[in-house]
Structure 1
Amino acid sequence: MTLRVIFLGGLGRSGTTLLERLLGELPGVTPLGEVVHLWERGVLAGEPCGCGRAFPECPFWREVGERAFGGWTRALAGRVLTLRRRVDRTRRLGRAHADLPEYVEVYRTLYQAAADVAGAGSVVDSSKHASLAYCLLAGGVDPHVVQVVREPRAVAHSWAKTVERPEDGRPMTRWAPGRTAVHWTAQNLALEALARRGAKVTRVRYEDLIAAPGETLGALAGELGLPPSGLPFLDGATAHLTSAHTASGNPMRFGVGPIELSRDDGWRLGLPRRQQSLVAALTWPLRAHYGYGSAA
């Protein structure tokens, strides 16, 4: 059976980790987290897997590393990071590079090993970066890209907040609203262009996922060609999550047990009016195209 690679794309703080966790509860689907950061944060820094163990001590990732590469090494991580700097860049979208086949083969090998260890037919990579999606497609991996979009003013508000990383207590990266708006537009335009080139791209709005999780997830599973199944882990607006071996991602990747799916509209009061207007102006008309038409 051909391995199905599901790639979650979009800008961070748009709900990709939540969607990955929900997809990971479907039979035969294994979430891997943000694989693009596995090399630095997992292999080199030894940060925790979503299961709570340090990456080097996680039985799942240890076996994946052995199957794929004969074990995780600093030399391997360093080589992948070097290749990434050369080929996996937004400014290089669509350009051929001699190192691309080697870079993509690392991901192909890792995806297959993870699926074999988990006994799964599908893996989810929530790396988000459009540039990596382009690399995978150019290298013949052919992922099904799920473009996750969220109201850009909500995304800007999230990026502006101070949030501690559970891995080490350090604050997560913060961006000014204007910078977030530019990146939101750039990532989504790149994914739109990918769809126009004939790639398999399915769009999901964060707001729809929260408002109707069962309906939205069920429809997405059909689009992805996943085997039909019920959604016993969903009880109305409550998702019952089990542990997942995610290598990197939003802090909610550590969540286990019942989690309430509630929409966060804190940006309406938390993001200053002037900054709301700035983000609205910088993201128009793409924002309206996704159904976020009101400037209010």
Structure 2
Amino acid sequence: MAQVLFLGGFGRSGTTLVERLLGELPGMCALGEVVHLWQRDLRDNERCGCGSRFSGCTFWRRVGDLAFNGWTNVDVDRVHALRDTVERTRHIPRLASATTAPPEVLEYASYYARVYAAAAEVSGSPVVIDSSKHSALAHVLRWAGDIDLRVVHVVRDARGVAYSWTKKVARPETDGTQEMTRYSPGRSALLWNAHNAAFGLLARRGVPVRRIRYEEFLADPRAGLVRLADFADIRLHPTDLDFLRPEHADLRVGHSAAGNPMRFTVGRLPLRRDDTWKRALPSAQRRLVGAVCGPMLRAYGYPINVEAR
């Protein structure tokens, strides 16, 4: 049975940073956002975190051979059809309330289970990390009997998230020809509420969920990693954290299938909070997001009123 540490939350909440740091720990293998593997990697042949095209990455070639006897045996159209049928945010209430899993849910989850098991064997790691974030996918995966699913729910202040979604960010894997999706602050506030609430619902369905706040994790990443490793049943030696420095981390090459540009970082990665939103996000938009997300901000321990700095 593959043990999967699923990093969930709404996009731009810091999941890639958490994934990269966790991936440096012994016994853990970071896979990136596996939810995008089928299109961006199998179909579009985008670049792996190691820099190679997916088809040329030795790690992923071995995973495909072991999981499916070669990636060419994966019916991507079928995976997409299953995704459209079961893995949508609007389907979460049905997934959460069901007493048995529909066949389509089990079939869709089986594709991920085979990838996870193969990646664990190829890497020799007992824990694989999927930073897909999608709450609906996490609700699907809970039905897979051959996955030991543990969820790390990463939360960031909704106003910081809203500001991040307004920025133009090029996608390096497309050689700069495409940009990452952008949302208006109002739209991102609604999505922030929906996705974070969905992970709370997942915890009430018996799935082990550990919530962390991005800001607190960055304040003391060493302690944060120790707690997450313990959550994954990985015991660390003090030297296992030597890659962490007071203000940066030294990263090795990874094999993230998809994700934000940080997955390509090798060497020094600065570790500092990004509070630019406190001065850059217009006050009207800051108040709008604060009003829409107020109850959940308060529940997560964030202040409702934030002065611009």
TM-score bucket of the superposed structures, by smaller chain: over 0.9
1:38 maps to 37
Deviations along 1:225-284, one digit per CA (max 9) or x if unpaired, are 112233111112211110110000010000010111010011111111000000000101
Contact 1:44 / 1:74 at 8 angstroms: preserved in 2? no
Aligned to 1:67: 66
1:194 corresponds to which of 165, 186, 202: 202
How much has 1:75 moved relative to structure 2?
A: 5.2
State the secondary structure of the residue aligned to 1:138.
Answer: coil
Q: Classify the secondary structure of the residue corresponding to 1:99.
A: helix
Contact 1:36 1:127 in 2 (8 A): yes
AA of the residue aligned to 1:290: Y
Single out whichever of 43-52 and 283-292 deviates more from structure 2. Answer: 283-292
- Give the letter aligned to residue 160 of structure 1: T
Is 2:138 the counterpart of 1:147? no
Cα displacement (A) at 1:224: 2.1
| Between 277-286 and 230-239, the greater mean CA deviation after superposition | 230-239
Name which of 155, 163, 166 aligns with 1:157: 163
> Aligned equivalents of 2:74 and 2:232: distance in 1?
35
1:222 match: 230
2:79 alignment partner in structure 1: 80
Q: Could you tell me how far apart the structure 2 residues matched to 1:263 and 1:171 are?
A: 23
Residues 202 and 121 of structure 1: CA distance in aligned 2, closer, same or farther (over 3 Å): same
Q: 2:18 is matched with which residue? A: 19
Q: Deviations over 1:81-110 (max 9, x none)?
A: 111111111111115433111111111111
160, 178, 186: which one pairs with 1:178?
Answer: 186
CA distance in 2, matches of 1:6, 1:219: 13
Counterpart AA for 1:51: C
Residue 292 (structure 1) aligned with residue 302 (structure 2): yes
8 Å contact 2:127–2:232 — kept in the other structure? no
**Aligned AA (2:286):** Q
CA distance in 1 between partners of 2:297 and 2:90 (Å): 23
Tell me, in whole angstroms, the C-alpha distance in 2 between the residues paired with 1:142 and 1:188: 21
1:271 aligns with 2:281: yes
Q: Does 1:280 align with 2:290?
A: yes
Residues 63 and 75 (structure 1), Cα distance of their counterparts in 2 relative to 1, 3 Å cut: closer
Q: Does 1:240 align with 2:245?
A: no
8 A contact 2:2–2:113 mirrored in 1: no
Q: Alpha-carbon deviations, 1:137-160, whole Å to 9, x = none?
A: 022224100000001000000001
1:250 — aligned with what? 260
Find the aligned partners of 2:218 and 2:70 in 1 and give their Cα distance: 39
Cα distance in 1 between the residues matched to 2:81 and 2:73: 12
In 2, Cα distance between the equivalents of 1:5 and 1:69? Answer: 19
Q: Are 2:68 and 2:74, in contact at CA under 8 Å, matched by a contact in 1?
A: no
CA distance in 1 between counterparts of 2:90 and 2:73 reads: 27
Q: Which amino acid aligns with 1:252?
A: M
Work out the CA distance in 2 between the residues paired with 1:4 and 1:229.
Answer: 21
CA deviations on 1:190-216 (whole Å, 9 max, x unpaired) are 000111222100011110111111111
Amino acid at match of 2:131: S
**Between 44-53 and 161-170, the greater mean CA deviation after superposition:** 161-170
> Counterparts of 1:243 and 1:281 in 2: how far apart (Å)?
41
| Preserved contact between residue 26 and residue 229 of structure 1 (Cα < 8 Å) | no
Q: Does structure 1 retain, via aligned residues, the 8 Å contact 2:113–2:144?
A: no
RMSD of aligned Cα (Å): 1.2
CA distance in 2, matches of 1:286, 1:119: 39
> Partners in 1 of 2:27 and 2:103 — Cα distance?
35
Q: 1:64 and 1:285, CA in 2 relative to 1: closer, same or farther beyond 3 A?
A: same
Distance 1:122 1:229 in 2: 17
Output the CA distance in 1 between the equivalents of 2:252 and 2:224: 20
Task: Show structure 1 runs of 5+ residues with no match.
Answer: none
Q: Which consecutive unaligned segments of at least 5 residues does structure 2 have?
A: none
Compute the displacement of 1:74 (Å): 7.7
Q: State the Cα distance separating 1:294 from its structure 2 match.
A: 3.1
Match of 1:58 in 2: 57
